[in-house]
Amino acid sequence: MTAKAKLPPAPKDPKYRQALGLGIGIWDYMEKNQRELGDTFTLTLPGQGPMVWTSNQDMIKDILKLQEEQVDASLVQLPMDLGEHNTVFLNEKEHQDSRKIVIPAFNTTRLRARAPAMHDIVTEHINSWKVGQKLNVPRMIGDITLDVICYTLFNLRHGERKDRYQYLMGNWMLEATSDTMFTFGAIFGAKNFRQWLNKKYLARADKNQGGNGKKGILPWKRAVDLKVQLADMIREDIRDIRRRMDESETHLLSVIARAKDDKGNLLSEERVISETIGLLIGGHETSAATASWFAIWLQQRPDVNDKIRREVLESIQNEGKFDPVKVSELPYLTACLNESQRLTPSAVGFIRWLRQDTQLGSHLIPAGSSVLPCIYLTHRDPAIFGPDVLEYRPERWMEGKKYLPSEFLPFGGGRRACVGLNQARQQLRIAFAEFARRVEFTSEYQHSNKMPRSRMIGGQTEPEKGVWLTVKQIRPESYGMPDTVGAAETATA
């Protein structure tokens, strides 16, 4: 007799209460369900199929091994119009081909070549701050990330075109990820809503109707206007790149615009636009959310921040300069960011929709359900991280233990793991190394163990009201450099 597929236990809460639990206070809700139902449980939201959340290692290992043909990514519940030919929504061969196009743009050589520009961008931001200024970390990192994205996607650092891209990208993202758009997604179904938005966009793009980019009576008007205008700029750039066909160009838009499918044809312009916009959104709110939690830990633990500063100053002494590649590989800094992503990951889980009944660990999960490794609960499992699992202790990453891909997974895993993880890590490490070296911040979190409530913003878990830091001191760029006055301070730092 063959076993019958069956869903793991579910809470008694009605569907709307479950939706509320995920929307506000998702971490507490995950912990409550784990306490009451065990490491694997089923949640069901209004209008959606069952979602099976798990922190069970056997099950997560099997989820990471799922083959392309076992899952259907087109069901991803994102209400944003990224274009239906975006990596995130693609399946099987189309999905693999899409990753093959994008991944080389993030290889080590190309990333290292981008590190000095990332450092220049961080330096420009720090130099523009004033003592006493209040900065909200998600927005501050969001601005730095937009500068980095303008450079990595379009090879633009300054000038009118860069400013225009930045304006359109920043504002389109705000509109596309607003609570209103997510609410419409919840009411009409995320897939239906984004496909409907995409039709509106394509109709306007065809007629060259970018609109005025202002809010109108219809709540989605501004999002569609801004996307048409953004896509127009990207289209112009694609055409220029294809006229030049310069093999030496390494910025992402050029790499994607020149890529060919397996029949030797260039990708359609809409496909290139879709991939480009996906990379833009993939790296933005995720980095902002990750940085926000990291900033809180460093405020709570000035001893850790001081140790990062000492490590950076030592690297400067060894290399004779601030070498952004060397700095982004420093072991203690790396450990500190890992530890922050462990305890406060920006993504609570990642999702796979099952096409058929599938055996995962000891559960046979029915077709049509989605399964989500719960990153948050896995990272807080004492069986993996030991009895001090709830303590922020970066040293655990330097004690020689290697964690499995199923144990530490802030960037997801398997065939759909984040393509931008190395770029994200490099950018965050360079930024936080420079903050530790040059800037003293204060905030309500300093020397406390206060943790704000988490809230879902654009699919990411962020501190509910942002993280406000006040700039207390800014040291000069030369601080800690060999043969400068700062070098003397280094010795005693």
Find the shortest distance in angstroms from Cβ 409 to ligand HEM. 8
CB closer to ligand HEM, 29 vs 350: 350
Find the shortest distance in angstroms from Cβ 76 to ligand HEM. 8
Regarding 324 and contact with ligand HEM (CB under 6 A), the answer is: no
Give kind and range of the element (H or E) at residue 376: helix 375-378
Find the shortest distance in angstroms from Cβ 152 to ligand HEM. 7
CA 187, CA 192: separation in Å to the nearest integer? 10
DSSP 105: G
Regarding 432 and contact with ligand HEM (CB under 6 A), the answer is: no
Binding-site member from 21, 410, 458, 466 for ligand HEM (CB under 6 A): 410
CB closer to ligand HEM, 45 vs 280: 280
Nearest to 276 by CA among 296, 256, 246: 256
Regarding 278 and contact with ligand HEM (CB under 6 A), the answer is: yes
CB closer to ligand HEM, 99 vs 235: 99
Contact predicate 313/480, CB 8 Å: yes
Stretch that binds ligand HEM, among 379-387, 417-425, 433-441, 448-456 (CB under 6 A): 417-425
Find the shortest distance in angstroms from Cβ 109 to ligand HEM. 17
Binding-site member from 40, 55, 286, 426 for ligand HEM (CB under 6 A): 286
Find the shortest distance in angstroms from Cβ 260 to ligand HEM. 20
CA 83, CA 205: separation in Å to the nearest integer? 13
CB closer to ligand HEM, 225 vs 462: 462
Regarding 177 and contact with ligand HEM (CB under 6 A), the answer is: no
- Residue 151, Cα to own-chain centre: how many angstroms? 18
DSSP 370: E
Binding-site member from 8, 21, 142, 420 for ligand HEM (CB under 6 A): 420
CB closer to ligand HEM, 375 vs 469: 375
Stretch that binds ligand HEM, among 44-52, 134-142, 219-227, 274-282 (CB under 6 A): 274-282
Assigned token pair, 251:
């910025």
Nearest to 299 by CA among 390, 395, 121, 432: 432
Find the shortest distance in angstroms from Cβ 217 to ligand HEM. 34
Regarding 423 and contact with ligand HEM (CB under 6 A), the answer is: yes
Restricting to residues 99-128, which ones interact with ligand HEM according to CB under 6 A? 99
CB closer to ligand HEM, 322 vs 432: 432
Contact predicate 55/34, CB 8 Å: yes
Query: DSSP characters for 340-352?
Result: HHHHS-S-SB--E
* Residue 198 to residues 171, 187, 191, 224, 458, Cα–Cα distance (Å): 18, 17, 10, 8, 18
What does DSSP say about strands 50-54 and 370-373: parallel, antiparallel, or unpaired? parallel
Find the shortest distance in angstroms from Cβ 251 to ligand HEM. 12
Regarding 412 and contact with ligand HEM (CB under 6 A), the answer is: yes
Cβ-based neighbours of 31, under 8 Å, separated by 6 or more: 377
Regarding 142 and contact with ligand HEM (CB under 6 A), the answer is: no
Binding-site member from 75, 230, 279, 469 for ligand HEM (CB under 6 A): 279
Give kind and range of the element (H or E) at residue 2: none
Regarding 350 and contact with ligand HEM (CB under 6 A), the answer is: yes
Site string for ligand HEM, 186-225 (x = CB under 6 A): ----------------------------------------
Find the shortest distance in angstroms from Cβ 81 to ligand HEM. 16
Cβ-based neighbours of 268, under 8 Å, separated by 6 or more: 85
Nearest to 81 by CA among 277, 353, 286: 277
Q: Cα-flanking dihedrals φ and ψ of residue 40, to 5°? A: -140, 125
Binding-site member from 228, 419, 431, 433 for ligand HEM (CB under 6 A): 419
CA 368, CA 8: separation in Å to the nearest integer? 14
Regarding 282 and contact with ligand HEM (CB under 6 A), the answer is: yes
Straight-line distance from the first to the last Cα atom of the chain, in angstroms, rounded to the nearest whole number: 70
CB closer to ligand HEM, 70 vs 470: 70
Contact predicate 425/108, CB 8 Å: no
Binding-site member from 144, 190, 259, 347 for ligand HEM (CB under 6 A): 347
Nearest to 63 by CA among 369, 380, 383, 424: 369
Which residue pairs from 236-240 have beta carbons closer than 8 angstroms and sit at least 24 positions apart in sequence?
Answer: 237/154, 238/269, 238/272, 238/273
Find the shortest distance in angstroms from Cβ 57 to ligand HEM. 16
Contact predicate 308/340, CB 8 Å: no
Restricting to residues 45-104, which ones interact with ligand HEM according to CB under 6 A? 87-88, 99
Number of residues lying near ligand HEM (CB under 6 A): 25
- Residue 292, Cα to own-chain centre: how many angstroms? 12
Using CB under 6 A as the criterion, which residues of the chain lie in contact with ligand HEM when the complex forms?
Answer: 87-88, 99, 278-279, 282-283, 286-287, 290, 346-347, 350, 410-414, 416-420, 423-424
